[in-house]
Amino acid sequence: MSKTVTIIPGDWIGPEIAKEVTRVVDESGAKIEWDWQKSGEKAIKAHGTPLPQELMDSVERNKIALKGLIDIPLGAPYEPPTVALRKSFDLYANLRPCKLFPGIESRYDEIDIVVVRENTQGEYSGIEHNVSPDIVEMMKVVTENASRRIAKFAFEYAVENDRKKIITAHKANIMKLSDGLFMDIAIETAKEYPGIEHSTMIIDACCMNLVMNPDRFDVLLMGNLYGDIVSDLVTGMVGGISAVYGVNIGEEIRVFEVMYGKAPEKANVSDASPLPLLMSAIALLNYLDETDAAESIRSSISLNLNDGIKPANLGGNASLVDFTNSIIDKLH
């Protein structure tokens, strides 16, 4: 029986990349039906919103989505679409596993770190205003319920995935109430999981130690802003966006997403890399118990890279279609 997945290609070269990635998944033998949805600038032109109701209904119905980068015009009166998706479906946890991938170069010999980020509060609560024309005030919202929910998620993830240690990163030495609450809830939650080692670390010291001694880290738990920054830091340590995936998780819905930023306006489609979206697709397949298909795609990618068949962003000259064609050839 096939599973229907909402696919949100996103903007710029997103549709071309999504076309190639879904082609790879289809050729892998995975039983997936794709529910294609417009978003971003195209959706604004067609529906007056970057996240039309049809898209939202699709995600609600299918409970799982694969998402490219959604953009809106600079200065447009819309909430950032990715943030709006998280809020609408209460996708409270962002998970970023960062592990070395065969064939992708890194400055490090061994990294296997998972960043767990609270996705709904903190500095990204969206509460800011002008006190006067030259002063802006922003509120950082941290609640006990949200802190406890993400801490519980991190510890449950550690147990289910045979992880041994969680470090909660914070700035409670300065933000004693907000970060102090987040840290205290993590410490309290840790008592329910005696089999998982837990400690806390100030966020700036955490970043320094990540770069110097990445082998000290296993699972990192942190608030919204810190998690946003640190997840990209660790992504760089394993070789960049081609080696990782991200997933936004709620009680019933998961949205797997790419990790890249805005492409140059004159980006050449043929030079685009499918790897960021492919990594998310592999994770999605594993989640749906399509493990054989996921491993076949992963192995084929690794063979490509080790054979020197690489997209431009990894120093190669394989076009988008050539790279995916080579993966499909290896699948067969």
Strands 64-67 and 254-257: parallel
Q: Which domains does the chain have, with CATH numbers?
A: 1-94+244-332 (3.40.718.10), 107-237 (3.40.718.10)
pLDDT band of residue 125 (cuts 50, 70, 90) is confident
User: In this predicted model, what pLDDT tens digit does every residue of 219-273 receive, in sequence order?
Assistant: 999 999 999 999 999 999 999 999 999 999 999 999 999 976 555 454 567 788 9
Q: Provide the Cα torsion 285, 288, 292, 296; round to 10°.
A: 0
CB atoms within 10 A of CB 119: 25
Which whole-number Å values give the CA distances from 185 to 144, 145, 153, 190, in the listed order? 7, 9, 12, 9
Please compute the mean of the pLDDT values over residues 94-100 and round it to a whole number. 97
| Residue 194: per-residue pLDDT | 97
Distance CA 80, CA 72 (A): 7
User: In this predicted model, what pLDDT tens digit does every residue of 39-96 receive, in sequence order?
Assistant: 999 899 999 999 999 999 999 999 999 999 898 887 788 888 998 999 999 999 999 9
